Chain A
Amino acid sequence: DGGITQSPKYLFRKEGQNVTLSCEQNLNHDAMYWYRQDPGQGLRLIYYSQIVNDFQKGDIAEGYSVSREKKESFPLTVTSAQKNPTAFYLCASSIGGTADYEQYFGPGTRLTVT
């Protein structure tokens, strides 16, 4: 069954703790993306990777870090430096490395930090 998996679906953390969100795809896609979704603000790009071992900052990268050591995996770490980390996080992938291709989204992780 091909697709993108994100785990866990819900995540709770205390303020000051780093947390890593998992994203795995078995679609053999080159590009992967992390978005943050807040009510009324659409999707905002955190980081993206057009090819393995390379990634670029998106529009709201501060307080986040990523790695792309394997083609199928693109984990996102929300660090304690992120001032307002509570949000819905969506991972996506696309077959090509440019934004000319449809993006396939995972089911998302809802992170709550208290």
Chain B
Amino acid sequence: GQQVMQIPQYQHVQEGEDFTTYCNSSTTLSNIQWYKQRPGGHPVFLIQLVKSGEVKKQKRLTFQFGEAKKNSSLHITATQTTDVGTYFCAGRSSSNTGKLIFGQGTTLQVKP
């Protein structure tokens, strides 16, 4: 079945360093969503990308959707301790419009 792989699984950075997580799908995605889950919390929606090659920014966060709509990335510039958490990508299955397929997530730790 359709799979969404996310790397790395864990990342430790010094505060102020940049961070990137990558998401790859085995099939073409109709859209890609990104969520953030703080430790002990629940996932919170960050953004959705729909168009091939789309790039969106939210302050220090930059989201990209690949040209082939099979991969995506989230880049955080100059990390802060408030960025700590697990970041998930989730793609909409092209064969089943009702489901999101989630990646395994990347857990970010930021050392002050």
A31 touches B42 (CB 8 A): no
A interface, how many residues as a size bin? 20 to 34
Q: A104 vs B42: C-alpha distance in the bound complex, in angstroms?
A: 9
> Knowing that A45-B100, A50-B98, A106-B42 are A-B contacts, what are 14 other residue pairs whose CB atoms are under 8 Å apart, sorted by A's residue number?
A35-B102, A42-B104, A43-B88, A43-B102, A44-B102, A48-B98, A59-B1, A90-B42, A98-B92, A99-B98, A102-B48, A103-B45, A105-B44, A108-B42
Give the size category of B's interface with A: 20 to 34
Q: Report the Cα distance A97→B30, complex, angstroms.
A: 15
Q: Given A40-B9, A42-B105, A102-B33, are A31 and B98 also a contact pair (CB < 8 Å)? A: yes
- Separation of A41 and B102 alpha carbons in the complex (Å): 9
Contact of B42 with A42 in the complex, beta carbons under 8 Å = no
Q: Which residues of B contact A105 (CB under 8 A)?
A: 42-44
Query: In the complex, how many angstroms separate the beta carbon of A36 from the nearest chain B beta carbon?
Result: 11
Instruction: Tell me, in angstroms, the Cα distance from A106 to B42 when the chains sit together.
Output: 7
Name which residue of chain B comes closest to A50, CB basis.
B98
Shortest distance from the beta carbon of B65 to any chain A beta carbon, whole Å: 14
Q: List 15 A-B contacts (CB under 8 A).
A: A35-B102, A40-B9, A42-B88, A42-B105, A43-B90, A43-B102, A45-B102, A58-B99, A99-B99, A100-B30, A100-B92, A100-B97, A103-B35, A105-B43, A107-B42
In the assembled complex, the CB of A46 is this many whole angstroms from the nearest CB of chain B, namely: 11
8 Å CB contact of A98 from B9, B43, B98:
B98
| Chain A residues whose CB sits within 8 angstroms of the CB of B35 once the complex forms | 103
Q: How far is the CA of A110 from the CA of B48 in the complex (A)?
A: 28
Distance in angstroms between the alpha carbons of A89 and B92 in the assembled complex: 21
